[in-house]
Amino acid sequence: MDAIDRAIVAELERDGRLTNVELAQRVGLTTGPCLRRVQRLEADGVIRGYRAVIDPVSVGRSFEVLIDLSLEAQDAETVERFETTLSQADEVLELRRLFGSPDYFVRVAVADLAAYETFLSQRVMTIPRIRNVTSHFTMKTVKPVKPVKPVR
Protein backbone atom coordinates (compact mmCIF):
# COMPACT_ATOMS: atom_id res chain seq x y z
CA MET A 1 0.00 0.00 0.00
CA ASP A 2 1.28 3.41 -0.92
CA ALA A 3 0.23 6.85 0.36
CA ILE A 4 -2.69 7.09 -2.07
CA ASP A 5 -4.03 3.68 -1.03
CA ARG A 6 -3.81 4.77 2.61
CA ALA A 7 -5.64 8.01 1.75
CA ILE A 8 -8.39 6.04 -0.01
CA VAL A 9 -8.79 3.75 3.01
CA ALA A 10 -8.88 6.72 5.40
CA GLU A 11 -11.55 8.50 3.36
CA LEU A 12 -13.69 5.38 3.08
CA GLU A 13 -13.36 4.76 6.83
CA ARG A 14 -14.71 8.26 7.42
CA ASP A 15 -17.52 7.87 4.88
CA GLY A 16 -18.11 4.56 3.13
CA ARG A 17 -20.88 6.12 1.04
CA LEU A 18 -18.56 8.39 -0.94
CA THR A 19 -19.07 8.21 -4.67
CA ASN A 20 -16.04 7.33 -6.74
CA VAL A 21 -16.03 10.91 -8.07
CA GLU A 22 -15.94 12.37 -4.54
CA LEU A 23 -13.30 9.90 -3.42
CA ALA A 24 -11.10 10.59 -6.44
CA GLN A 25 -11.28 14.32 -5.78
CA ARG A 26 -10.35 13.90 -2.13
CA VAL A 27 -7.29 11.73 -2.85
CA GLY A 28 -6.11 13.63 -5.94
CA LEU A 29 -6.82 11.04 -8.65
CA THR A 30 -9.02 10.85 -11.68
CA THR A 31 -12.02 8.54 -11.42
CA GLY A 32 -10.64 5.61 -13.45
CA PRO A 33 -7.43 5.06 -11.46
CA CYS A 34 -9.31 5.67 -8.20
CA LEU A 35 -11.90 3.01 -9.02
CA ARG A 36 -9.19 0.52 -10.01
CA ARG A 37 -7.38 1.11 -6.71
CA VAL A 38 -10.58 0.63 -4.70
CA GLN A 39 -11.34 -2.58 -6.59
CA ARG A 40 -7.79 -3.84 -5.95
CA LEU A 41 -8.04 -2.95 -2.25
CA GLU A 42 -11.33 -4.89 -2.10
CA ALA A 43 -9.87 -7.89 -3.99
CA ASP A 44 -6.79 -7.91 -1.74
CA GLY A 45 -8.99 -7.93 1.36
CA VAL A 46 -7.81 -4.55 2.62
CA ILE A 47 -11.37 -3.27 2.27
CA ARG A 48 -13.43 -6.11 3.72
CA GLY A 49 -16.87 -4.57 3.31
CA TYR A 50 -19.18 -1.65 3.82
CA ARG A 51 -21.83 -1.28 6.48
CA ALA A 52 -24.48 0.96 7.91
CA VAL A 53 -24.06 2.11 11.49
CA ILE A 54 -27.45 1.79 13.14
CA ASP A 55 -28.70 3.80 16.11
CA PRO A 56 -29.06 1.17 18.88
CA VAL A 57 -31.99 3.01 20.52
CA SER A 58 -33.97 2.80 17.28
CA VAL A 59 -33.68 -1.01 17.15
CA GLY A 60 -34.15 -1.72 20.85
CA ARG A 61 -30.53 -2.55 21.64
CA SER A 62 -29.35 0.45 23.62
CA PHE A 63 -28.34 -1.46 26.78
CA GLU A 64 -24.75 -2.53 26.22
CA VAL A 65 -22.86 -4.86 28.54
CA LEU A 66 -19.20 -5.88 28.49
CA ILE A 67 -18.57 -9.37 29.83
CA ASP A 68 -15.35 -10.96 31.04
CA LEU A 69 -15.79 -14.72 30.83
CA SER A 70 -13.60 -17.67 31.77
CA LEU A 71 -14.06 -21.37 30.99
CA GLU A 72 -13.25 -24.30 33.26
CA ALA A 73 -11.16 -25.94 30.53
CA GLN A 74 -9.48 -24.99 27.27
CA ASP A 75 -9.90 -28.28 25.40
CA ALA A 76 -11.00 -28.08 21.76
CA GLU A 77 -14.54 -29.35 22.40
CA THR A 78 -15.25 -26.86 25.21
CA VAL A 79 -13.81 -23.92 23.29
CA GLU A 80 -15.59 -24.84 20.04
CA ARG A 81 -18.97 -25.32 21.74
CA PHE A 82 -18.66 -22.00 23.60
CA GLU A 83 -17.49 -19.99 20.58
CA THR A 84 -20.07 -21.50 18.23
CA THR A 85 -22.93 -20.95 20.64
CA LEU A 86 -22.12 -17.33 21.45
CA SER A 87 -21.16 -16.43 17.88
CA GLN A 88 -24.68 -17.36 16.81
CA ALA A 89 -26.38 -15.14 19.40
CA ASP A 90 -27.81 -11.97 17.86
CA GLU A 91 -27.19 -10.11 21.12
CA VAL A 92 -23.42 -10.59 20.81
CA LEU A 93 -21.78 -7.70 18.98
CA GLU A 94 -18.22 -8.82 19.59
CA LEU A 95 -16.55 -11.97 20.90
CA ARG A 96 -12.81 -12.06 21.49
CA ARG A 97 -10.66 -14.88 22.82
CA LEU A 98 -7.87 -13.41 24.94
CA PHE A 99 -4.43 -14.43 26.11
CA GLY A 100 -4.34 -14.68 29.89
CA SER A 101 -7.30 -14.03 32.12
CA PRO A 102 -10.18 -13.74 31.45
CA ASP A 103 -10.48 -16.18 28.55
CA TYR A 104 -13.03 -14.10 26.61
CA PHE A 105 -14.32 -10.58 26.18
CA VAL A 106 -17.94 -10.40 25.03
CA ARG A 107 -19.78 -7.24 24.00
CA VAL A 108 -23.55 -7.58 24.19
CA ALA A 109 -26.40 -5.24 23.22
CA VAL A 110 -29.97 -5.80 24.38
CA ALA A 111 -33.05 -3.69 25.14
CA ASP A 112 -32.67 -3.37 28.91
CA LEU A 113 -31.51 -4.99 32.14
CA ALA A 114 -34.30 -7.57 32.09
CA ALA A 115 -33.35 -8.62 28.54
CA TYR A 116 -29.71 -8.92 29.63
CA GLU A 117 -30.68 -11.10 32.61
CA THR A 118 -32.64 -13.36 30.24
CA PHE A 119 -29.74 -13.52 27.79
CA LEU A 120 -27.25 -14.29 30.54
CA SER A 121 -29.32 -16.96 32.29
CA GLN A 122 -30.83 -18.63 29.22
CA ARG A 123 -28.07 -18.29 26.62
CA VAL A 124 -24.72 -17.86 28.36
CA MET A 125 -25.07 -19.80 31.60
CA THR A 126 -26.52 -22.83 29.81
CA ILE A 127 -23.23 -23.37 27.95
CA PRO A 128 -21.29 -26.16 29.69
CA ARG A 129 -18.01 -25.52 31.51
CA ILE A 130 -18.30 -21.79 32.14
CA ARG A 131 -16.29 -20.96 35.25
CA ASN A 132 -16.76 -17.23 35.77
CA VAL A 133 -18.77 -14.38 34.30
CA THR A 134 -18.27 -10.73 35.23
CA SER A 135 -20.61 -8.14 33.72
CA HIS A 136 -19.62 -4.50 33.25
CA PHE A 137 -22.38 -1.99 32.54
CA THR A 138 -21.50 1.01 30.42
CA MET A 139 -22.12 4.35 32.10
CA LYS A 140 -21.06 6.44 29.11
CA THR A 141 -19.35 5.79 25.79
CA VAL A 142 -16.56 8.34 25.65
CA LYS A 143 -15.09 7.23 22.31
CA PRO A 144 -17.10 4.91 20.08
CA VAL A 145 -15.52 1.94 18.32
CA LYS A 146 -15.28 3.96 15.14
CA PRO A 147 -16.22 7.61 14.78
CA VAL A 148 -19.14 7.82 12.39
CA LYS A 149 -19.82 10.66 10.02
CA PRO A 150 -23.52 11.55 10.14
CA VAL A 151 -25.58 10.66 7.07
CA ARG A 152 -26.03 13.66 4.81
Residue 39 in contact with residue 8, Cβ under 8 Å? Answer: no
User: Cis ω on the peptide bond leading into residue 33 (within 30° of 0)?
Assistant: no
pTM listed for this prediction: 0.79
Residue 68 has pLDDT above 80, yes or no: yes
Q: CA 62 to CA 111: how far, in whole Å?
A: 6
Q: Which amino acid is at 66?
A: L
Helix pair angle (20-27, 31-43), 10° resolution: 100
**115 Cβ contact partners less than 8 Å away, ≥ 6 residues apart:** 63, 91
Residue 140 has pLDDT above 80, yes or no: yes
What's the pLDDT at 138?
85
Q: At 147, is the pLDDT very low, low, confident or very high (cuts 50, 70, 90)?
A: low
pLDDT above 70 as % of the chain: 95
pLDDT above 90 as % of the chain: 83
